Amino acid sequence: MSSRHSDARSAPAGTYDLASKNFVAESVTEDPDEFADFCRAFAMSVRPGGPLVASFMENMPTYRIGVASRWPGCPVDRAIVRRVFAPYTERLRDIRIDADPTVPDYGDTGMVLMRAVRTRQSLPTGRGTAP
Ligand SMILES: C[S@@+](CC[C@H](N)C(=O)[O-])C[C@H]1O[C@@H](n2cnc3c(N)ncnc32)[C@H](O)[C@@H]1O
């Protein structure tokens, strides 16, 4: 196994045996289209049939850690996650869990967790997807 530090949107398509992503796509943009592009690049980075695992803060308006760390926020829910991944995946399963009342309230309503495998059929490339 090797590791590489780079922009996830530039990950070459069909390269990895599996991919995981936690709290990134919904916390690097406020633009739903850019969120979708990020998720597409993530899904397409694995080989056809490769497994994907991802988690998302649910309905989080902005991503903050304490008072000093502030990130963009793109509020998402189960329906949005399913819609964004549907064209590139099969066997998608998702669940949500409620917000933890013991941690600071950042406006989210919980988390969405999903797993899927990349569809085996060829798909056209597009913005955010490596050739
Ligand atoms: C809210 S943090 C989540 C960090 C970590 N995954 C976690 O669960 O604690 C968002 C992360 O996305 C990273 N990030 C922002 N833009 C990115 C990009 N284009 N490609 C890959 N990672 C990016 C940031 O560096 C940051 O570490």
pTM: 0.89
Q: Is residue 44 part of a domain?
A: yes
Q: Give the C-alpha distances (Å, rounded to integers) separating 72 from 10, 37, 104, 123.
A: 20, 16, 17, 30
Split at pLDDT 50, 70, 90, the class of 37 is very high
Q: Give the C-alpha distances (Å, rounded to integers) separating 57 from 16, 80, 123, 129.
A: 25, 12, 28, 23
Q: Return the best residue to mutate from 21, 26, 28 for the ligand 1 pocket (most ligand atoms within 8 A of CB).
A: 28
State the pairing for strand pair 51-58/19-22: parallel
Q: Give the C-alpha distances (Å, rounded to integers) separating 45 from 102, 104, 125.
A: 36, 34, 12
Q: What's the gap in Å between 94 CA and the centre of ligand 1?
A: 21
- pLDDT tens-digit readout, 70-120: 889 999 999 999 999 999 999 999 999 999 999 888 899 999 999 999 998
Domain membership of residue 52 as a residue range: 15-118
Q: What's the gap in Å between 24 CA and the centre of ligand 1?
A: 5
Identify the CATH number of the domain in which residue 87 sits: 3.40.50.150
- Count of structural domains, the chain: 1
